[in-house]
Structure 1
């Protein structure tokens, strides 16, 4: 009897991602099969050997693998001890159908920056409440994948201050209830990737970082006014108390509860 696989799978609330799949297989061998989505794969331990369109390929931990929809492939460990992998199944709208042939010919992408960005996206997806961050990271990943498949160099980026400030105004108006990157793009009549890049160039931070900062500022005021931590988390727009505490401590340097207890003084301690 083989070792029991360690598997986690879920459907995130992020448009463009059909499924997230994390797995550690010691001895599982995939038969030939297909998916109706783009398969974006990174390997964290071991090496995966697979056949795609009757050609053999390998997926070590240093590369990104992109398998196109509806093209048969298999998979088996090429190293003792199996392999550990993380997979995103992207809907077909993320990458054009005209690029399937290029992906069949070149499924292995040797791009350390892309590998890092995919890793960051996975780390974001395991944290409920950070959907805007995940959407922003997905936009940059998808853009880089398409550029690889089209053999395009990085395009020069115009400095669009107008769209950056328009997005900031929109985030200011919606920071408690939040918004998706697609909603912002539709309201501002701009491509979602352009929004992320323009905002970052103008303000030195990503849109999700700005939104989180606004939420933390509101929560600080609510806590010092005497609101309990769970109510402050909800009122400031955080997903739950864990989501709130993680971001609050990262921004402020202490936990919400400890911060709130400093509010019992009627005058500054100096």
Structure 2
């Protein structure tokens, strides 16, 4: 168990029995998630209390009677609201796990979710039981039982609540305008870029650039750049690079800056991530 601060704790681990599956058990009273994205399906279930989250331009509530689901690369944020405590369990199913799940379910195309909140008491209980079965503190877990619970819980979720077919949305004009900016960010995320540099790439003013990012991507240029840097840092940490080297090479000023953004985005420290990957 790691302390984010005296009032917030979290435990993060990788489930080696399932490809592409990471898990988090968090107990927060003050933590606030900055706007961010995960390149995985995120499924979260509340055990105690609740919080507010923002996604798709709307505010929702994460509470015990709700199952939260976010599609890969879907921007969202969260904060304490209306509750003095938020203890929850979440799953992060990345691409290898998604492919494994689709094969297990006999689905040849990834599905997506049109809503973020589902009030399904039986499914909520099922995911809580599944998470506890894969909890690193549970030494008595039965591998066959774990697999059955995984297939049942995720299979029921996708069968009852996912929309068939790949999510295809029209490309907004802003996205086309931003193409050279996005190329710059992906190529030079580790450099000290300015708003003026980004805007000039697309012949926009800095004000226009911020508006285009918000309308098209749902994130500010700075937040989008931070997500790229975090992904780069994760890749470096996974490859065994020291924390300070990963921080500087991915564009953060120093180790403390990486740690601060990592905690605000993922609810854990980089060290927790590394330890879970090397267990």
Distance in 2 of aligned mates of 1:38 and 1:32: 16
* 1:189-211: CA deviation from partner (whole Å, max 9, x where unpaired): xxxxxxxxxxxxxxxxxxxxxxx
Structure 2 length normalisation: TM-score?
Answer: 0.49
Kept in 1: contact 2:50–2:83 (CA 8 A): no
Gaps spanning 5+ residues in structure 2: where? 165-279
Q: Which has the larger radius of gyration?
A: 1
1:111 aligns with 2:123: no
Alignment correspondent of 1:120: 129
Q: Are residues 1:139 and 2:151 paired?
A: yes
Aligned counterpart, 2:60: 57
The answer as to 2:86 corresponding to 1:83 is: yes
- Aligned structure 1 segments of 4 or more residues deviating by more than 6 angstroms: none
Give the TM-score of the pair, scaled to structure 1: 0.50
Partner of 2:265: none
Which residue pairs with 1:30 in the alignment?
Answer: 33
| SS of equivalent to 2:147 | helix
Counterpart mapping for 1:1-270 below 5 A: 3-16=6-19, 18-91=21-94, 92-93=98-99, 94=101, 98-100=110-112, 103=113, 105-126=114-135, 127-128=138-139, 129-150=141-162
1:218-238, Cα deviation, whole Å (9 max, x unpaired): xxxxxxxxxxxxxxxxxxxxx
Partner residue in 1 for 2:229: none
- C-alpha separation in 1, matches of 2:85 and 2:31: 8
1:141 and 1:74 map into 2 onto residues whose CA distance is 25
- Shift, 1:122, TM fit: 1.5
* RMSD, matched Cα: 2.3
What is the deviation of 1:85? 0.7
3-state secondary structure, aligned to 1:20: strand
Separation (CA, whole Å) in 2 of partners of 1:68 and 1:150:
10
Alpha-carbon shift at residue 16 of structure 1 (Å): 4.2
Q: Which range moves more in the overlay, 44-53 or 142-151?
A: 142-151
Mapped contact 2:7–2:30 kept (Cα < 8 A): no
Determine if contact 2:14/2:22 at 8 Å carries over to the other structure.
yes
State the match for 2:257 in structure 1: none
Once the two structures are superposed, what CA deviation does each residue of 1:162-198 show, in whole Å capped at 9, x if it has no partner?
A: xxxxxxxxxxxxxxxxxxxxxxxxxxxxxxxxxxxxx
